[in-house]
Amino acid sequence: MTEKSPVSAGRIAFLGLGHMGEPMAVNLIKAGFDVVGFDVVPAAMAAATEAGVPCATSAAEAVTGASVVLTMFPSGAILLDAYRGAGEPGLLEVAPPNTLFLDCSTIDVAQAREAAELTVAAGHRSADAPVSGGVVGAEAGTLTFMIGAEESEIEQLTALLEVMGKKLVHCGGHGAGQAAKICNNMLLGISMIGAAEAFVLGEKLGLSHQALYDVISTASGQCWAVTTNCPVPGPVPASPANRDYVPGFAGALMAKDLGLALNALEDAGVAAQLGPLAAQIYRKFADEGGAGRDFSGIITDIRDGSQA
């Protein structure tokens, strides 16, 4: 057994066994880690148990005796409540001293920094490692992790995260992983709106989708929103546009991430114009039927809002 073997990592309490958490926990178990799961929704726990994740009856039970607490929650408010405890002892109080609190959720940068401060003040260690790659990446173990942690944590984090992901980027200290994630996703939201506007303009000017794609994909407008997630059917057969915008990356998640970007832009006092506008556009998209559609479906709104 080597020093870095899964067994020496101790027990991992995996909290939040939703779309992403369950397959991530399963991959840790397959790699030989000792994992105990918990979710507040009984159906999520039942599904995780069925998938082979042993579950505790409470978060406190899962965390007692753990050396790592890995969270995959919907929001930072939920994370902070769980850490502090809402009316009962929080995870920071229940966990053994020097536990590594590893949050892989996508949350507000300011809340990630607050969570790290609380964690360190309680005598534990902290890391944020939000992901990209979606449910497909979680199942395949090919996620990208953006890590915000002290250098001294990287060796242990690498042993854990490389089981669930294929690319790990150490972005800096506490909160830096969340910061990198929302900067990237803000650019993604803006570039998808730009790609969609370009294709609708091309339609109006009589260009075929393929002709415009052939130019953009090899010219200076080239971007992931066009070459991988092309908002029109045809040029990129695997893009969600070819299957009626079944996600992919859902509009609800893009709206959420742009909301987090908006908070960070305001906190940092950035003179941004497109980030806030993209947040507004995707909030409307999500609220008016796009929540469960791929975010490239924004092109439909642009087309529908254009003159006949």
The reply to whether 48 sits near ligand NAD by the rule CB under 6 A is no
Q: Which is nearer to ligand NAD, 174 or 212 (CB)?
A: 174
Write out the binding residues for ligand NAD, residues 100-139 only, by CB under 6 A.
105-106, 131-132, 134-135
CA gap 85, 251 in Å, rounded: 31
Selected catalytic residue, list 4, 30, 181, 204: 181
Q: Evaluate whether 25 touches 35 at the Cβ level (below 8 Å).
A: yes
The least distance separating ligand NAD from the CB of residue 182, rounded to whole angstroms, comes to 11
User: In the complex, which residue's CB is closest to ligand NAD?
Assistant: 18
Rank residues 187 and 215 by Cβ distance to ligand NAD and give the closer one: 187
Residues 197-256 that bind ligand NAD (CB under 6 A): 253, 256
Residues 6+ apart with CB under 8 A from 57: none
Residue 164: closest CA among 147, 145, 184: 145
- The DSSP result for 27-93, as a single string, is HHHHTT-EEEEE-SSHHHHHHHHHTT--B-SSHHHHHTT-SEEEE--S-HHHHHHHHH-SSS--HHH
Give every CB contact of residue 307 below 8 A, 6+ residues apart in sequence.
none
What are residue 167's DSSP bridge partners?
144
> CB 156 → ligand NAD: shortest distance, Å?
21
Contact between 69 and ligand NAD by CB under 6 A: the answer reads: no
* Candidate segments 69-77, 146-154, 157-165, 222-230, binder of ligand NAD by CB under 6 A: 69-77
Contact footprint for ligand NAD (CB under 6 A): 15-21, 38-41, 44, 59, 72-74, 78, 82, 105-106, 131-132, 134-135, 253, 256
Q: What are the residue numbers of the active site?
A: 181
